[in-house]
Amino acid sequence: MSRGQGPAEDGAHEPPIVFFGGKGGVGKTTMAAAYALNCADAGLRTLLVSTDPAHSLGDALQTRLGDRPVKVADALWAREPDADTAVKRRIGEVTDDAYRALPRDIMPAVSRHLEHAASSPGMAESALADLLMDTMEEVPGTWDRLVVDSAPTGHLLRLLALPELLTPWVRGLARQRERVLDADRLAAGILGGPGEAPDDPLLEKLHARRHKLERAADRLRGDAWVRLVMIPRRMVLAETERAAEQLAKAGFRLGPAVINQVPEDAAPEPLAAARRRFARTGAVELALTPGEPTGMPALRALGARV
């Protein structure tokens, strides 16, 4: 049984990027998989990505997934990026940039610093955010719809905030690099050297990075929904309400929520509170079922309701 509560914030239109988030164990992976399959069945080339380091997307689809997109149904591809691989890829890109821009004699120290950074807290989240930003730039184009099965709430909030948090830092690095180049040009002019310096690859990379972060921040607010999944329990609802408030305050749009695993004898107040809280965005209610809906037939039936 499903029940819609109120209109979606954006009317009937669904954006090209949809995140499913919520507290661990509420069924967000299942909802993301069911929704993505429904999009694919509607003829949209859909990519379903898990950003949860503890992947369970392959279990929901009953398909072995990996770091690269795997076709799992007509018009549907799925991917479980490996966090360690994403970190190594990011460190490799930074190392290559450093070799092109920095003196060779300081590269051993830079390499040691990068090796240490690879194991630092937050590096996996940053690398996965990079991967997500790259994927967002493939929509539209390679993909019509991107569906993201995110990690539990705190991770989702940090992931969505990263592009905006990093932009001022990268902008500051670019300004510092420009000042260094200006000083070099001035010194060269005073000493009678060439007045024009060649293009600086590091500065170009910093500007490209800044533009990428700015595009991602704009798209997360303009082209994306966050659909929160919850179950009708007080503690889960409290966390979901906090997440909704933080997301709305940061400018993210909420799509219809999902109230999952509603038992026939559900306590009336938590359910009524969830309906009231998400009346504006709408909420889909799904009854508690004996087993987990895994595999294509079960997900397809669920997707029509999600």
Of the ranges 149-153, 251-255, 282-286, which one carries the lowest mean pLDDT score? 149-153
Per-residue pLDDT of 101-151, as tens digits, reads: 666 776 677 677 667 666 666 677 778 888 888 999 999 999 999 999 987
Residue 212 has pLDDT above 70, yes or no: yes
For the chain, which residues make up each domain, given as ranges? 2-96+126-167+217-303
| pLDDT number for residue 7 | 40
| pLDDT number for residue 185 | 59
3's CB contacts (< 8 A; 6+ apart) are: 284, 285
Q: Both tokens of residue 108?
A: 């051993």
Domain 2-96+126-167+217-303: which topology?
Answer: Rossmann fold (3.40.50)
Instruction: Judge contact between 296 and 263, C-beta under 8 A.
Output: no
Of the ranges 180-184, 224-228, 261-265, 279-283, which one carries the lowest mean pLDDT score? 180-184
Helix, strand, coil percentages for the chain (3-state, nearest 5): 55, 15, 30
Cα 150-155-159 angle, rounded to 5 deg: 80
Residue 10 has pLDDT above 50, yes or no: no
Residue 196 has pLDDT above 70, yes or no: no
| pLDDT number for residue 126 | 77
| pLDDT number for residue 5 | 40
* Percent above pLDDT 70 for the chain: 76
Confidence of residue 168 (pLDDT cuts 50, 70, 90): low
21-to-7, 18, 197, 232 alpha-carbon distances in Å: 20, 10, 49, 16
Per-residue pLDDT of 221-230, as tens digits, reads: 999 999 999 9
Instruction: Judge contact between 96 and 110, C-beta under 8 A.
Output: no
Backbone angles phi, psi at 230, to 5 degrees: -145, 170
Which of the given ranges, 24-38, 49-63, 193-207, 269-283, has the highest pLDDT on average? 24-38
Residue 60 has pLDDT above 90, yes or no: yes
Which segments of 191-295 does DSSP mark as H helices, in order?
Answer: 201-222, 234-249, 268-277
Of the ranges 40-54, 76-90, 159-173, which one carries the lowest mean pLDDT score? 159-173
Residue 129 or 74, more confident: 74
- Give the chain's mean pLDDT: 81
Helix (H, G, I), strand (E, B) or coil at 215: helix
Residue 267 has pLDDT above 50, yes or no: yes
Residue 47 has pLDDT above 90, yes or no: yes
